[in-house]
Every structure is written in structure tokens, then in C-alpha cells.
Structure 1
């Protein structure tokens, strides 16, 4: 029998089970035993069974699709988060729809409204650099629309959050630089309003204090668009060139690679004089020149956990949810 015509009823008849039992087993329901799930899934795979998403959505009044909103898909970190989300979503028979904000609050809102209007079952999102007013998101959550935030998260909205331990990552970066003998550690970071900016700045300050290093505001440079605009990076690096810094902690992928680009363009003679530690999930960080000690986030795991929380919320039988903030550890990879 051709797989496109093979139905849950066919599987149920072949295995002498009820259609509802097969349906629940295919959805990994807690109501079905592990042994029964194993038998059903093995038989479904053998027969190349594929769920009919249209029939399923009409029956259950769900689209079985979830939206993902990030600033830029090409960003190493976000692409790895998306991989993690997809690994969970597809295993649960959910499709994903991905959109980018390019750090625009207006585009972010348009994306949210579009995905909500297209009846996606929920959203996974990291806030844009421009976002300051999140009342419209809070309104959607109050209506019962599931949203899970990751990486860049709002402070007050009642929702699940999945983040990295940004403060510890910032502290570890400064600790490493101080141990290398750095006395004036600069900090290149993103938009002031973002949660990751605030947390990594706090870790930077903790590191300075732990090593009795001075906190100099002139050594902290903010890039509103996090490296997407080359001009803001050029200005920040040029201003830092006048501060006589000997180490730098950089708080993001685009900022890290952008900093190196500007240094090669304008300050090639000084490029080996500054020790660098930065947040980056680049898979080729070991070939960066000069070398960079990387603070790496568990991006894939972050995506998986966020997707799990969202799908649990979508499939919950009750409206009350105990929201949690999941904090995942960062790791430091020293490249000598």
C-alpha cells in the first residue's frame, strides 16, 4: 500500500489496537506505554506512514506549526538554536516557520502579527535590539497564545525563558584576561536594553572587581545593532583605540568578527597587542587571527529546551502554567 494512503486506521487494524491508541502513540502521549509506542512507531516506520497535517489540524483545531523569530538566521548562534528547535519540533510532527527582524522592532511586530494571524500554535522568539515596548506580546500571552522567549528575554512578562548563564560567561572572560596580565579590559557590547547586554555587563563588572581592576566607562562601548551595521563598529573600535586598553571582552558573534575586521582594516599594527575573549559560537573560531578565547553558549540545547517548553504549553490540557526560567551554562574554549 502506498504510504500516502496509509492511515492510522490501517495501523490499528494491523496491530489489533484502537485508532485512538495508535494516534496517541504516534504523538508520544504519556497515556500510552513505552512498549506500545515502540511497536506502533516501528510499524509506522516500516510502512512509511506519514501523518496528514491538514486532516489532523482540522480535527484538533491546531495548525501543528510554530513560529521562530530571531534577529538574523545567518548568525552562528541563532542558526544553531534553530537546529535545536527543529530537532524537537519535527520529532513531534510540528513544522516551523522562521522569520528575521534584522534588529527592527517594527519588523518584529509585523512578524509576530503575521504568525499569529496565520494560526501558528505558538512562538519562540529572541527580542530585537530596538524592542522596548512589549505590551503587545503580553496581550497575546494573556489571550492564551503560547510564547517562549530565549536568549534575549523580557524582564516582566509571565512566560517561559531559556537563557545562557551570561553573567558567569562575562566573569569567566574577564578572569581569563586578567590572568593573562591585562590591566585595562575593554568591553564591546550590544544594545543597552537587551537582557544579554545587561547580564554580560554585570559579569564583566564582577570580573573587574574580583581582580581589583578599575571600571572605566570609556572602556565600555555599545553597538545598538550588535554588529549588523559596520559603521557603528568602526566608531566603537576607533574610540577604544584612544583608551590604551590591553584586553577586550566582546559580547556577541557579530561583534567579535566585526571587531577583528575593523582591527585588520585600521589598526593592523596593533592587532596582536590586545588579548581577546568573546561570546561566539563560530565553528571556525580556531582559525581567527588573532586568536580568540571563545565563550560558547549551548545554542542547540537552548533551542531544544525552548521547543520542549513551547510544545508542552501548546498541548497542555489546562490553562494554568508554572513558568520557569531555564539557565544553561556557558563554556570557555581557550585558543592559544
Structure 2
């Protein structure tokens, strides 16, 4: 079998075969009003037969933009993020746009480099969920100030204004903590990400508010910070607490991965869940129904957040006048399961 690449068919090849001008072929492929229906049909039929593909790069160089949306997220292998990407991609496809996805792996340096690469690709807009390490937003300000819309989703900047799609993290964390209190927990630990990320700061605020509303003391030794909130980190943090002189009787983890790690640790140490240790996570990932006992959680409307972020990106990118910065806030719900239900 020959490995020689076949010559790519161009607009000029189609024009020569049809004996029309290249500009006529170009307009026909775009259903331009100036081209007759018969010519459009003939051009598209020949393009299909010859395997013609639009040269997206050349088109973007001419128009100074593309029909591609950049998506920059911390991790593509996390269920919440993959669902968010699904929402972005589905909404983009419905509107005739493509998506390029890049992950920072929670590294600020990777985020900066990837953002610059996406911008160099002449993206139409950029949808961003910040890396855990990110505290400076200059790289994103530069893209926004150039005229390319930047839409923040979930992990959003604390000191930079802009379009954003979020949930009410304070209320959601308050609900999760109150649920544990309602189940009889009095020493409730919190697993959270870096406090400079506003979502974790807000979830800690909700946790504190619930404790204070129930006249329970906030013990800072029960508030533990994780680098990435992985299963392994959840296991380590739970072990640290459960082997302490005054272990908690409840854990609120600000994601499900770390909560699953806590359940596994409790099992390894012979601590009964939920009888001795009630646990609730956040995101309502599929793993919640697989782990034993099933994990209580808080829903996080990832797909809808992705769709809304994409729709807002297109509204801003395609507007003829400046669009006022908008905060879109979606609802969450508590999903109680066996990992926390002491009182049925």
C-alpha cells in the first residue's frame, strides 16, 4: 500500500472542472445569495465527489478570526469537567462552531502557555475554568483586551471582572453541612482546595455559616486544604483526622474524589460509615453511586454550565455593540445517600 499522500482538492480545481470562477465556487459553498441554486447544487455535489475540505486555517487568516472556540480547563479526565466540555461542545456544534480543548493540569504556567497557544490559533472566544495555582490573570486580561471574549466558568477570578457562569457555592456548602448536622454530626471536617480560588473560599464560608447557625464551634484543625482534591489526597487527609485524638464524626469534601478517598480510608481503619463517620461530597459524579456505601453529594449542573458559557461567549463575540458583563448563576441540589444517612 502506498503511503504517498493524495493531493488535496482546492477551490481552484473545482472551478476549473466546472468552468466557473474560483470566487463562484467559494460563494456557492457558503450558500451565498448571489449564486443560483443550480450552481450551488453542482458545486457541492462535485466537492463531495472529489473529497474537497474547507481550508479552515486559510479562511481564518483572511477573516482574522475562526469559527473555533477555545476551552481551557484544569483536567479533562474529571467527570465534572468532561461534562462541562460536553455542554460547551454540544452548544458549539448546534451553532456551527468547533472546539479546541486544552488542560492546564492545575498549573499556572501551563495555563498561561496554553492560553497563548489558543489565542494564536485565532479563536473566536475562550471559555476558561482556572487552574488551582492561578492567582494572576494578566494572560487572560491580554486576550480579553484584544477583543477576544473570555468567559469564566466554575473556577472564576476573585479580582478580575468578566462574564462568568457559576453556582451559589456558599448556599450549596451550607446545605451540605446542614445535612450532616441534621444527621447528628457535631465535629464536621472540611476538605477544600486552595482558598485563593473563590469557589473553595465560598464553600468554606457556607460550611462556617452552617456551623455557626447551629451554635457549633468552628475548629480550624478540622479544615484541611488539598492540592488537587484527588482520591489519594482524600484518603491521606481522612487518615490524618481519624487517627487524631479527637476525630470528626462527619466530613464535607468540596469534591467527590476526595470524599471517596475518605470512605476508603474509613473502611481500612474499621470506622463505620455513616454510623461513626458521615460523609458528603460535591459534584454528584458517577462514582457516587458506585462506591459502597453510595456517596451523598451536591449536584453541580456541569453540562448546563458549559452550554450557558458557550452561548454567552457567542453573544459577546458576535455582538455589534459592547455587551455588559454578566454573571449567570445556576441552581444546585442536595442528593442524600447512604454515606451520610444516619436518620431515615
TM-score normalised to structure 2 length: 0.79
Q: What residue number does 1:41 align with?
A: none
Is 1:236 the counterpart of 2:237? The answer is yes
- Give the deviation of 1:225 after TM superposition: 2.0
1:137 and 2:152 are equivalent in the alignment = no
| Number of aligned residue pairs | 300
Distance 1:139 1:284 in 2: 38
Partner of 1:73: 76
- The offset of 1:8, in angstroms, is 6.4
Please give the per-residue CA displacement for 1:229-249, whole angstroms capped at 9, x wherever unaligned. Answer: x3x444422221113211111
Residues 60, 122 of structure 2: 8 Å contact kept: no
Partner of 1:126: 129
How many angstroms apart in 1 are the aligned matches of 2:155 and 2:304? 16
SS at match of 1:102: coil
For 1:166 and 1:181, locate their aligned partners in 2 and report how far apart those are by CA, in whole Å. 23
Q: What do the CA deviations read for 1:246-268 (whole angstroms, capped 9, x no partner)?
A: 11111013222332333344x23
Q: Which moved more, 1:217-226 or 1:284-293?
A: 284-293
The one of 60, 63, 78 aligned to 2:66 = 63
Q: 1:316 to 1:164 in 2, by over 3 A?
A: same
- After superposition, where does 1:78-89 map in structure 2 within 5 Å? 78-89=81-92
- The one of 87, 99, 104 equivalent to 1:101 is 104
| Residues 1:189 and 2:184 are matched in the alignment | no
Q: Distance in 2 between matches of 1:202 and 1:180?
A: 21
Match of 1:301 among 297, 304, 317: 304
Question: Please, which of 212, 216, 219 is the counterpart of residue 213 of structure 1?
Answer: 216
1: CA distance, partners of 2:319 / 2:335: 39
Question: What is the DSSP-based 3-state SS (H/G/I as helix, E as strand, rest coil) of the residue aligned with 1:309?
Answer: helix
Specify every segment of 5 or more residues in structure 1 that has no aligned partner in the other structure, as ranges.
23-43
Q: What secondary structure does 2:279 align onto?
A: strand
- Aligned-pair distance for 1:276? 1.3
Give ranges in structure 2 of 5+ residues lacking alignment: 1-10, 15-24, 38-43, 339-344
Q: CA RMSD in A?
A: 2.7
Q: How far off its partner does 1:130 sit? A: 0.8
CA contact 1:248–1:277 (8 Å) conserved in 2:
yes
* Number of the residue aligned with 1:325: 327
Describe the SS at the equivalent of 2:102: strand
Q: Distance in 1 between matches of 2:159 and 2:77?
A: 29
Q: How many Å apart are 1:288 and its aligned residue?
A: 2.1
> Does the 8 A contact of 1:276 with 1:291 survive in 2?
no
Tell me the CA shift for residue 290 of structure 1: 2.5
CA distance in 2, matches of 1:51, 1:155: 43
Does the CA-based 8 Å contact 2:115-2:139 persist in structure 1?
A: no
> What does residue 334 of structure 1 align with?
336
Match of 1:222 among 225, 232, 248: 225
Q: Is the 8 A contact 1:185 1:248 kept in 2?
A: yes
Q: Which residue of 2 aligns with 1:172?
A: 175
Residues 94 and 214 of structure 1: is their aligned pair in 2 closer, same or farther, counting only changes over 3 Å?
same
1:194 Cα offset (Å): 0.9
Q: Hey, what does 2:206 align to over in structure 1?
A: 203
In structure 1, C-alpha distance between the alignment counterparts of 2:215 and 2:301, rounded to whole Å: 30
Measured after TM superposition, the shift of residue 51 of structure 1 is 9.4
The answer to whether the 8 Å contact 1:163/1:326 transfers is yes
Could you give the per-residue CA deviations for residues 86-127 of structure 1, whole angstroms, max 9, x where no partner exists? Answer: 111011111111111111111111111111112112211111
Q: Which structure has the bigger radius of gyration?
A: 2
Change (3 A) 1:57 1:114: closer
Distance 2:110 2:90 in 1: 27
